[in-house]
Homo-oligomer: A and B are copies of this chain.
Amino acid sequence: MVGGGRGAFIGSIHRIAAAMDGQIELVCGAFSSDPERAKDSGADLFLPADRCYGSYGEMIESEAKRPVEERFDFLSVVTPNHMHFPPAKMALEHGFHVLSDKPATFNLAEAKELSGLVEKSQLLYGLTHNYTGYPLVKQAREMVAGGVLGKIRKVVVEYPQGWLSTHLEASGQKQAAWRTDPKRSGAAGCIGDIGTHAENLAEYVTGLEIEELAADLTAFVEGRELDDDGNVLLRFKGGAKGVLHASQISAGEENNLSLRVYGEKGGMEWHQREPNTLLVKWLDQPMQVYRTANGYLGAAALAAGRTPPSHPEGYLEAFANVYKNFAGAIRARLENRLPTAIENDYPKISDGVRGMAFIEAVVASSKANAAWTKLDI
């Protein structure tokens, strides 16, 4: 693991997620750019001192020298955005699989380079677009793919938060500080942090690709350099239309990622706030309420659950599903077989490239007063 030392938020999320199914063991880490903090963080995690490294470079080089059975199997990247690409690149170059926090890189150029490296190395690369790990998100995808809703016409996806309603970064709050800093976060703020989750969720469920978009970004809080709110019109390949809006100044909202998809025959609605419910709507019949873990669900949704119906599965379990499937894909590799459909169901570098293209298109469109802008894939 790179990053995720004491005081970080997402690092412990990744560790819980990785450990959940008893298939992945944390064996080494470069948890902080501060060597002292790196060692202490490792000790907190019961790691031997000699596998707590001072930098990702040292870690990758050292581990690569160990016998194959004693190396780590894949690198988990949980640093801020600007530090996603360098360790991922180095790991691939040293023959390690990579699972990275999103967005894949700092900008689109890096993402395309990374995509090339993945292809060339034939190693596995996963991306923690964790919301796609929810069982009912997988159910929605399967139902859309199966034609249950008919041809898709409209998509509404949104991710309102309110935690940056004030100038929180001025207080030194660590999460706010790097996310609002163009040097660490990238070209976009809110759109990069959570807008990409919305984009990925919409494309994952519908199987459609955003072709072009018209975006209006705003930094509402005085003194903030990056957008904290964005409203985007979407046009998908094939004719579907949509709206995406994301915000970090929607005062009082938590993490209300939600998705609605409408086709010729029916519609669907899913909210992260209550992730174990999927509403399925029909033209002439009562709405149905699909619930996690019930026998009427499809294979992907059932495989993604760990508990019986109405034992709520949460965010950590969804996150763990990305790790579980990715670990399954590595195991398939070790066992010289193709991964199963379920093992292969995790976000890949292609999702990473699309995410970065989305961010850059949104920023470009907004600078051009919401001119229609195509994703540069």
Contacts and interface: CB of A to CB of B under 8 A. Distances in A.
Given A16-B20, A233-B216, A165 B283 contact: yes
Of the four ranges (under 10, 10 to 19, 20 to 34, 35 or more), the interface on chain A belongs to 35 or more
B252 A267 contact: yes
- Copies of this chain, complex-wide, total 4
A285 to B, nearest CB: 6
Contacts of A165: 264, 283
A256 B295 CA distance: 18
A2 to B, nearest CB: 18
A156 B245 contact: yes
A280 B286 contact: yes
Interface centre among A19, A154, A313 (most CB of B within 10 A): A154
B251 A263 contact: yes
In this complex, which of A16, A20, A256, A291 has the most chain B Cβ atoms within 10 angstroms of its Cβ? Answer: A16
Contacts of A13: 306-307
A160 B156 CA distance: 11
Interface stretch (A112-120, A268-276, A350-358): A268-276
A312 interface: yes
Interface in A1-41: 9, 12-13, 15-16, 19-22
A284 interface: yes
Contacts of A12: 306
B251 A282 contact: yes
A254 to B, nearest CB: 3
A284 B295 CA distance: 7
Nearest to A19: B19
Given A19-B19, A310-B272, A296 B285 contact: yes
Contacts of A249: 153-154, 262
A253 B282 CA distance: 8
A309 interface: yes
A244 to B, nearest CB: 9
A372 B370 contact: yes
B307 A233 contact: no
Nearest to A149: B251
B267 A296 contact: no
Interface string A219-258: 0100000000101010100000111010101111111100
A55 interface: no
A208 interface: no
A280 to B, nearest CB: 7
Given A15-B22, A149-B251, A252-B262, A284 B296 contact: yes
5 contacts: A153-B229, A165-B283, A255-B308, A286-B296, A312-B315
Interface of A: 9, 12-13, 15-16, 19-22, 45-46, 149, 153-154, 156, 158, 160, 162, 165-166, 214, 216, 218, 220, 229, 231, 233, 235, 241-243, 245, 247, 249-256, 260, 262-267, 272-275, 279-291, 294-296, 306-317, 369-370, 372
8 nearest A-B residue pairs (beta carbon):
A252-B281, A254-B310, A314-B314, A311-B315, A255-B310, A286-B288, A252-B267, A312-B314
